[in-house]
Amino acid sequence: MDIEFSAEDLTFQEDVRTFIKENLPAGMEMWTKRGEWFEALRKKGGWDVAKWPVEFGGPGFTPTQRYIFDMEMGRNSTPPQLPFGVGMLAPILMNYGSKEQQDRFLPGIRDGSVNWCQGYSEPGAGSDLANLRTRAELTEDGKHYIVNGQKIWTTLAHIAHWIFCLTRTSSDGPKQEGITFLLIPMDDPGVEVKPIITLGGSHSVNEVYFTDVKVPVENRVGEEGKGWTYAKGLLIHERTGLAGIQNSVFALEKAKANAGTVKVGDGTLMDLPRFKNKIGELEAELMALEFTELRSLASVSAGSDPGPESSIMKLKGTEIQQRISLLNLEAAGIYAAAWGNEPIGPGFAKAATGGYLGGRATTIFGGASEVQKDVIAKNVLDLGS
C-alpha cells in the first residue's frame, strides 16, 4: 500500500499540529480546561466530532485526513471524549433514530454535557449477548415500557446521565429477535448502580439494576424487536475504537523509552536481542494493523459500512495493547511487585503493574477474542456458520 501523503495531506497535517500547539492546555490544565479544548475543536469546523458526517456537524475528513488527525491527537495525548455518546450511540441515532431523538440527544452528546453508558452485558449474557434477560414490557396503553433486570460490567455508569440499553420485549422465535433498544435516564428511582473494583484497583465498571423502571415509548430507538440489528452496528464502531491503534503506536514508543532506562550489564534492556526481537515483532504487527485501518477508512469513505475488519482490528489491537503492557512489566522487573505501595525502582514501575492487570480485560470487553475469531472465520475466511 502506498501511504505517501499528498501535498494537501501534508498541509493538513501541519494545520493539525499548529492547532494543537496553539490550543492544547499544558500539564494538568489539559484536564481542568478540557471543555475549552473541545470548544476550540468545534470552532475549527467540527473537529470535536471528527468521525461524524458533515450533515450532523462533522468535518468531512478524507480517510487520510482521519488517519493524520488521529495520529497527531494520539501523539500529543490530547484529552479523549468519553466514547459511549460520541462514538457509539451517536451513529445509531444518526442511522436509526427519529428526527426528534436526534434533535434531543445529539447536542448534549456533542458538547459533553450529557454522559452515556452502555447497557449490554448481563451475568448470563456477555459474549453470548443475545441471551440477555432484562425485560421491557409494554403497558396496556402502549405508552411506556416497564423495565426489570440487571446489567454488569457497565463502564462509567456511576457518572452517566443516561444508558442506552438492550432489553428483551419478546421471547418468541430466535433469541436474536425480540430485542429492543431503549434510552433510559440513570436518575430514575428504579435504577441502582453498584461499583465493581477491577483487578487493577480502579473503579470504572459497575452493576446496574432496573426495578420497574418506566420508559416512554418515544425513548425506543427504531422498531420494537429490531435492537439486535442496531446493536451489531454499534458494536462495529465500538470494536474499531477499542483497537486503540494510535494509542498503541505511542505506547510502544514509551515502552521502548522505559526499557532504555533499565541498565543491563554495560548497556540497557533495549540492547538485549531477545527484548529487541519482541519490540520488532510488535512494530511489524502494529504497522500491518494501521494498514488495515486505512483500508477500512477508505471503504467507509467510498460509502460502505464498516465491515468484519473491525473484528480484525479489535482482536489484534487489544492483543497488542496487552503485549505492550507486558513489555513494561518485564522492564520494571522486581520493582513492579511494589505497585500497591510506595513506588521504588524506575519511575514507570508502579504504573506498569496496574496497567498490565487492568489490561487483562481488553480482550474480553467489546466482544471477547473468541467471538472476534468466529466473526472473522465466518465473514472474512468464509468458513461457514
DSSP secondary structure string, 230-275?
HHHHHHHHHHHHHT-HHHHHHHHHHHHHHHTTSEETTEEGGG-HHH
Residues present in the chain in total: 385
- For domain 116-227, give the CATH number: 2.40.110.10
Q: What is the pLDDT of residue 237?
A: 60
pLDDT digits (tens, 9 = 90+) for 220-233: 999 999 999 888 76
Q: What percent of the chain has pLDDT over 70?
A: 92
Output the DSSP codes for 264-330: ETTEEGGG-HHHHHHHHHHHHHHHHHHHHHHHHHHHHHTTPPP-THHHHHHHHHHHHHHHHHHHHHH
* Sole residue written with cell 436474536: 176
* pLDDT tens figures, 42-61: 999 999 999 899 999 999 99
List, by residue range, all CATH 2.40.110.10 domains of the chain. Answer: 116-227
pLDDT for the residue numbered 21 = 95
Whether residue 275 has pLDDT greater than 90: yes
Specify the domain boundaries for CATH 1.20.140.10 within the chain. 243-379
**Alpha carbons 35 and 43: distance in angstroms, whole number:** 12
Nearest Cα residue to 117 out of 197, 27, 47, 183: 183
Whether pLDDT at 373 is above 80: yes
Helix (H, G, I), strand (E, B) or coil at 41: helix
Confidence of residue 22 (pLDDT cuts 50, 70, 90): very high
Whether 39 and 75 have beta carbons less than 8 Å apart is answered as no
pLDDT at 1 (0 to 100):
44
* Nearest to 205, CA basis, from 36, 69, 321, 358: 358
Hey, which bits of the chain come out as E strands? 116-119, 135-138, 144-151, 162-168, 179-185, 191-197, 203-216, 263-264, 267-268
What does the pLDDT average to over 250-279?
93
- Give per-residue pLDDT as tens, 88-110: 999 999 999 999 999 999 999 99
* Contact call for residues 130 and 179 (beta carbons, < 8 A): yes
Which range, 25-29, 310-314, 316-320, has the best average confidence (pLDDT)? 316-320
Give how far Cα 44 sits from Cα of 38, 49, 59, 165, 354, Å.
10, 11, 9, 33, 37
For the chain, the 3-state helix, strand and coil shares in percent, each to the nearest 5, are 55, 15, 30
Q: For the ranges 64-68, 122-126, 260-264, 341-345, which has the lowest average pLDDT?
A: 341-345
Backbone angles phi, psi at 308, to 5 degrees: -65, -10
Residue 364 pLDDT > 90: no
Strand partners, 193: 208
Task: Check residue 299 and give its pLDDT.
Answer: 67
What was the pLDDT predicted at 239? 60
Give yes or no for a contact between 269 and 262, defined as CB atoms under 8 angstroms apart. Answer: yes
What is the Cα–Cα distance from 185 to 237, expressed in whole angstroms? 23
Lowest mean pLDDT among 17-21, 91-95, 156-160, 372-376: 372-376
Would you call 216 helix, strand, or coil by DSSP? strand
Given its phi and psi angles, is residue 163 left (phi above 0), alpha (psi -120 to 50 degrees) or beta?
A: beta
What SS3 class is residue 39? helix
Q: 150, exposed or middle or buried, with CB in 10 Å at 0-12, 13-18, 19+? A: buried
What's the grid cell of residue 78?
490530547
| Residue 370 designated active-site | no
Please tell me the distance from the alpha carbon of residue 97 to that of residue 227, in angstroms, as a whole number: 12
Q: Which CATH architecture has domain 243-379?
A: Up-down Bundle (1.20)
Supply 213's cell numbers.
Answer: 423502571
pLDDT of residue 304: 61
Rounded mean pLDDT, 272-291 = 92
Instruction: Please pick, among 72, 122, 224, 238, the residue that the annotation labels catalytic.
Output: 238
